[in-house]
Structure 1
Amino acid sequence: MTEWLVGLMESLGAPGAGLAIALENLFPPLPSEVILPLSGFTASQGSMDLLDVLVCTTLGSVIGALALYWVGAMLGRERTLAIAAKLPLVKISDIEKTEAWFQRHGHKTVFFGRMIPIFRSLISVPAGVERMPLPTFTLLTTAGSLIWNTIFVMAGYLLGEKWSLVERYVGIGTNVVIGLVVLAVAVFIGVRLTERRKGRHASRR
């Protein structure tokens, strides 16, 4: 992957880094914790301008996020509810509660979500489903992405040839997030199965 990214940046320069970040939103196996520090390191070698890297990677983040926003917008609320109704253990009320929560905290969620591994990409879909005003979504996404990108690009720029250390430490944080998600899903399933058993016992009485 590193060789591919280097080749992309050698061919296109800073726009190549922006293209990689746009694709990272759509294909999470392309991790930003590799793309951004490597872009910063490349800039430190004089191959790219640092400001160009920050601008292009942030633009790439926004373009990728907008693509997923429109996926959510095209999916829409009615299709989302229809899909949820077919999922085992999921209730329509779960979606309605999520909607109510997003309506109250959507702005903060989109902004800070751009700085959380895994959720960086996913948060754009519910924003589209809920039809968050596009200018608001774009502004929040740009601000959050600029902060995230600047931290990682500058880390690669300052670390130089040790830029890969960023990936190692961020990987720990990513694993923590994955662990919390798995735990939350396990708790949700456990609660629903318990509710289902209680319902069956009550119906037999």
Structure 2
Amino acid sequence: RLVVFGHSIGAWIAAQACLRESSRARDGGARDPKDEPRVAMVVLAMPFLEFSGSFKQRALACVTCLPLFNQIAELAAFAILALPSSVHALVASLMVGGGGAAEVHKQVVHSTVLSQAHHIASVLRLLKSELARLNPAVTPNAGFEELRPLLEARERPSVLGLYTRGDGWGPQAHAPRLRSLLRDDGFDEVIDLGSELDGVLVDGIPPP
């Protein structure tokens, strides 16, 4: 059986994948009783599940509404690649949450997203769609409400939510909201890692 892991917006994608996995049972679809669900657990690490209204998110939402944003994103991708490494370091720091983020987290962003133009452009286009897609003020029943079908499914994986202090996309204030939607019999769990450095997950170092 599988454990599905998603970080930030990837956590939303992981949740949606598990929703599709469990929808057959929820809708009464035929399944051999001997078959166990393929996904045993979904891990939502610092999940971006709903627009929080932070200054950073509101500013980015305004930027993504600019005319010809997609074309601007393509040009920005190549421009960023042409900039010196010191600027790349600044961009990586901004992407992962500023000076409080672990150095290894910045290095991962630098070696993946900031190393290929299509990665940069894709992240920018993803921002444009998801900042509206996960904003309940723009999209009715978005965000946490959209998780209910997964959490109310008759057969679903257990959910492990991981939060840290200082994460701008999966703020700690969201932890009790997620916990309120989960089972309280030990099947699900939400954990505060107790660190501002969500890079500990990337590096494999136990949180303090």
Q: TM-score range by the shorter chain?
A: under 0.3
Task: Name the structure with the higher helix share.
Answer: 1
TM-score by length of 1: 0.27
Greater Cα radius of gyration, structure 1 or 2: 1
